[in-house]
Structure 1
Amino acid sequence: MSTVKRLLCIAASIPMISAHPPIPTRGNSFDWDSTRYLLAFGDSYTYVQGTHGYPNFSFIGDQLNFAYDAKTLLTNKIVQNQTGTAEGGPNWVEFLTKCGLQEGLTSPLHCERQLWDFAFAGADISVEHTPLHHNYTISLVNQIAQYKQYGHPVLSPKVNPTETLIAIWIGINDINDSAKYPVHFPTFYNDLMATLFDSVHVLYALGYRSYLFMNLPPLDRTPGNQATPTPSPNATQVSWFNGALQHHADGFAAANHDANVLVYDAHSVLSDIMDHPARYGVVNTTDFCAGYDQPDIEWNYEAYGCPSPVDTYFWFNSGHLTSHVHEKMVDDLERALKRWK
């Protein structure tokens, strides 16, 4: 039966606990505890480095090297080091699956909950709406097309769709790249979501039935946006984008009665961390450590003018969250997923 699962976050006074129980649904077939596989798509908030990926951008391949064979995929390993994600350490899908957390190389095949990550750093939804950041960037639409053509035939004998969660976090680049467009933004964001869900239907046709969508973080509160009276994107744009995502997720679930559609309110959770940083071990929400990308930053942070370690900051750099913040968000996300038994 149709299930639209809104994973709503917390009231501001209680850290990391969902504010309200999910709205009752007519079906309840999703079980996080029995989920053995996570297929991830998105941008730099989600990408992990692979031994067969484009350095600093992907787990496997790029737009100029689109095809891969079974051996390449199945021997690929997640790289965990300072540059293995865009966060200086593990990101949310690694914390969620506990796959690839260890320093060094990890095969998804060796994880209890396997992480197959096809996100590409710098991705937007589609060139139909915004240009590629680089000629090798794989857009969200093309990530899914690539997976359909090359990934699914390899993984389908091994990855049972009934034990699989599709995770999609996309839109950070879209809203940043288009923030100054001379368009009616509610309509533009609706068009973006229509394109996104056309690709979600591709995954649905492959047999996948459980979907997790992450809404946008408070991008109006990046260090740069906090320093200006005219943030871009602004809070209204972020709200419109997130509203369009929810609307299309509702529509997708209504049209596909056997689909589990989970929309997680990452925006509210991350906003709560910014509003109450001490509760989460965060001391700086307005700036980032200038030496974040230096090889000795973990222990030599003071040499770069940073009064405390990088993992005490909310922002890793001008637009990414620290690994610590990813971990704190996942504390709540996993509890929310477990409620859907």
Structure 2
Amino acid sequence: MFRSSSLVFAFTGLVSIVNAQSAVSGTWAQCGGIGYAGPTVCVSGTVCTFLNAYFSQCLPSDSAPSSTATSSSPGSTSSASAANFWFSFGDSYTQTAFTPSGNPPQIGQPLGNPPYPGGTTTGGPNWIDFDTVTFNTSLILTWNYAYGGATIDASLAPPFAPTVLSLTDQVNEFLNGTANKPATAPWTNENALFSIWIGINDLSWSWWQTGDRLAYNDVLLDAEFALVEQLYAVGARNFLFLNVPPIQRTPYFASLGPTNVTGPILESVIEDFNTKLATAANNLTNTFDDVQTFYWDSYLTFNEILDDPTAFGFTNVTTFGSAPGLFWGNDNQGLHPSSAAHEIFGQGIAAVLADTIW
């Protein structure tokens, strides 16, 4: 099955969720924290438990830590056995600075380490933070292997520094660790989701290459889906793919000026990559009849917001910083969306995943 969603559908699908949670937060949902504007009262049988300045969560009364997240037992198999698992791969749009060797995701620390929202590029929660603790309908434990600056494979598109972990490196981290289903992550075919948001750095740093640039997209995607097949081989069956946003519209690329050739060339390269990504994701279900794929169209979503920002609560989409109303965050580059933008992304992605265990 292949599922896709535009932003319009995303908001439509979430109306009932938002209305239902307007009075109380459900089990495992967020109920407080810096920047949080939702309900602070938890559903009966749960306790709004302070975990850190950014995050309080509605935890079942019999599993809430006595004080803070650090007081819960790392790796508790009782918490893990009741969870759904999310294994995430990507770049700076997804990163939370998770370290696989640190504390694992668990009740009270659903993204493991560092404490929620982690090391993001937004100045606050990003989309996977929101989908793990705000738009979730079950206990989700998220292993987020995403790494800032990542490309699909360093041998195809070298990252800005040799220490950056590519998608290939990230998948290998998973295969050499959590793929083995330790007590902290007893995931199964049914209760695990694998998401990949990659390609931004591959395309933004290679648009200028000579030769058949669109054929190079095929090379990149062949490498990505070879990794997907490795994930399938160890039991992955549910995949979420996110395409490349219109990064030619970021303040950074816009600052290069209207006569710069980057924008039009980059736009055509991204659109070609995204078309081929959607085809490859759809073909995955034809190759493996036990696979379910989901697809979130970030390119469409970004363009909808950037074309009509006030409709989405933004007052400025051309500059970046930490002021309210800005679509682009304070990253000193003008390349990354703000936390407010990521909340909208999280809503859209949650709608794509609607009617699943997530």
- TM-score (ref. length: structure 1): 0.73
Q: 1:234 to 1:260 in 2, by over 3 A?
A: same
- 1:313 maps to 326
Which of 41, 45, 53 is equivalent to 2:89? 41
What stretches of structure 1 move > 3 A for 4+ residues in a row? 14-18, 71-76, 154-157
1:185–1:240 Cα contact (<8 Å) kept: no
Pick from 137, 145, 148: which aligns with 1:118? Answer: 145
Question: Using the alignment, how far apart are the partners of 1:15 and 1:41 within structure 2?
Answer: 22
Distance in structure 1 (CA, Å) of the matches to 2:163 and 2:307: 38
Q: 2:288 aligns with which of 241, 251, 256?
A: 256
- CA deviations 1:165-201 (Å, max 9, x no partner) are 1111001111111111113122111110000000001
Return 5+ residue gaps in structure 2 as ranges: 14-81, 107-111
Q: Check the 8 A contact 2:10/2:349 in 1, yes or no.
A: no
- Aligned pairs for 1:228-239 within 5 A: 228-229=257-258, 230-232=261-263, 234-239=266-271
Contact 1:122/1:133 (<8 A) preserved:
yes
Which residue identity does 1:129 align to in structure 2?
L
2:5 to 8, 27, 32: 8
The separation in 1 between residues aligned to 2:356 and 2:87, in whole angstroms, is 19
Where does residue 41 of structure 2 map in the other structure?
Answer: none
Aligned match of 1:60 = 99
**Matched letter for residue 214 of structure 2:** P
What is the alpha-carbon distance in structure 2 between the residues aligned to residue 15 and residue 159 of structure 1?
A: 28
Structure 2: distance between partners of 1:8 and 1:188: 27
Equivalent in the alignment of 1:78:
114
The answer on whether the counterparts of 1:15 and 1:272 sit within 8 Å (CA) in structure 2 is no
Matched, 1:277 2:309: yes
C-alpha separation between the residues in 2 aligned to 1:182 and 1:272?
Answer: 31
Output one character per residue of 1:206-233: Cα deviation in whole Å (capped at 9) or x when no partner: 1110000001111111113334223346
2:91 equivalent to 1:93: no
Matched, 1:147 2:174: yes
Q: 3-state SS of the aligned residue for 1:79?
A: coil
Match of 1:304? none
Q: Give the % identical residues.
A: 26
Counterparts of 1:87 and 1:10, CA distance in 2: 20
Cα distance change of structure 1 residues 113 and 35 upon mapping to structure 2, 3 Å threshold: same
| TM-score under structure 2 length normalisation | 0.70
What's the CA shift for 1:331? 1.6
Which amino acid is the alignment partner of residue 247 of structure 2? L
Q: Which piece of structure 1 moves more, 230-239 or 136-145?
A: 230-239
Deviations 1:107-158 (A, max 9, x none): xxxx921111011111100023111322221110111012101222254752
User: Take 1:268 and 1:142, find their aligned partners in 2: how far apart are those partners?
Assistant: 29
Structure 2 residue 305 is the aligned partner of structure 1 residue 322: no
Which whole-Å CA distance do the structure 2 matches of 1:331 and 1:314 have between them?
Answer: 16
| 1:163 paired residue number | 191
1:239 and 1:115 mapped to 2: Cα distance? 30
- Range moving further from structure 2, 206-215 or 130-139: 130-139
Report whether the alignment pairs 1:128 with 2:155.
yes
**Residues in 2 aligned to 1:74 and 1:170: alpha-carbon distance in whole angstroms:** 23
CA change 1:256–1:220 in 2 (3 A) is: same
Q: Distance in 1 between matches of 2:353 and 2:346?
A: 10
Partner of 2:227: 199
Q: Does 2:273 match 1:267? A: no
The partner residue of 1:174 within 184, 202, 207 is: 202
